[in-house]
Amino acid sequence: MEDSILNQTDNALDELCRLVKTLRGEKGCPWDKKQSPESASIYLIEEVFELVDAIESGNSEHIREELGDLLFHIVFIAEMFEERKEFNLSQVARSITEKMIRRHPHVFGDMEVNSSAEVIQNWHKIKLNEKKDLQKQSLLDSVPAKLPALIRAYRVSDRVAKSGFEWSEMGENQKDVQAVAAGLQVEPENHDKRPTSRQVGDLLFALVNMARLAEIHPERALTGSVKKFETRFKKMEDLIAESKRAFDEVSSEEKKRIWEKVQRIVP
């Protein structure tokens, strides 16, 4: 049974690879043929976020579709490098397989671990040893510069902590957040007293680190809060629409009262 499933998977991947080669071939699609790894990477980023949205939705059909879109882009980019005779998709698969075996000595070797925390610690040590042969100037060089700022802030603080430099404990970090927040005065009419970009950035970074220490990923936390706000705002729009008025026809004071009502309706 397992062999049958594997054969079906291999056949499907082979078919996808042939399709990509056709699209990039002499009689293929003009748009696909003119793409480069650099241009394709933009669409790859979009597909990743669409997949994340699908996973959050819990809709398996949607998730399957978005996984397919992402897989297509991976095969598509690998094909471009094969055309340059640099590497092919099989080499990509072989490389990641070897890496995963190397980084799971507790599964494929003799190492013993007692918790997921030990797995993470060992993973980081193995990764550091792998990077010794590369001309890296800093532990942080491997954190992608193009990551969204919130995710990158988390990765940077997590990376230095795993390297033995925990620059702030939970209690101290909370004090840092309170101190920075207390120093921010939001006065739209007074430009001299508006918080600076650096002050706001320091506060956000302190909050990210506080979330990490609480074992909460800030990206997921903020995503949840944004979704809650969107749900409440749309409910407020619905309530105003029921009164046969346009949103901008309602006074600020009434909007505040409706918002308070919505907060009770949508927790």
Q: For 43-92, write each residue's pLDDT tens digit.
A: 998 899 899 889 988 999 999 999 999 999 999 999 999 999 999 999 99
Does 169 have pLDDT greater than 70? no
The structure tokens 């795993």 sit at: 162
DSSP 86: S
Residue of 157 and 80 predicted with greater confidence = 80
DSSP, residue by residue, 25-53: STTS-HHHHT--HHHHHHHHHHHHHHHHH
Residue 266: predicted pLDDT = 87
28: left (phi over 0), alpha (psi -120 to 50) or beta: beta
Q: At residue 173, what is the residue type?
A: N
Q: Are 176 and 168 in contact (CB under 8 A)?
A: yes
State pLDDT tens for residues 104-123: 999 999 998 888 888 888 88
On the question of pLDDT at 34 being above 90, the answer is yes
Q: According to the model, what pLDDT value does residue 170 have?
A: 52
pLDDT of residue 178: 75
Higher pLDDT, 32 or 131: 32
Count of beta carbons in the 10 Å neighbourhood of residue 154? 22
What pTM does this model have? 0.64
Q: What is the overall mean pLDDT for the chain?
A: 86
Residue 167 token pair: 């620059």
pLDDT of 188: 58
| pLDDT band at residue 145 under the 50/70/90 scheme | confident
Q: What is the pLDDT of residue 189?
A: 62
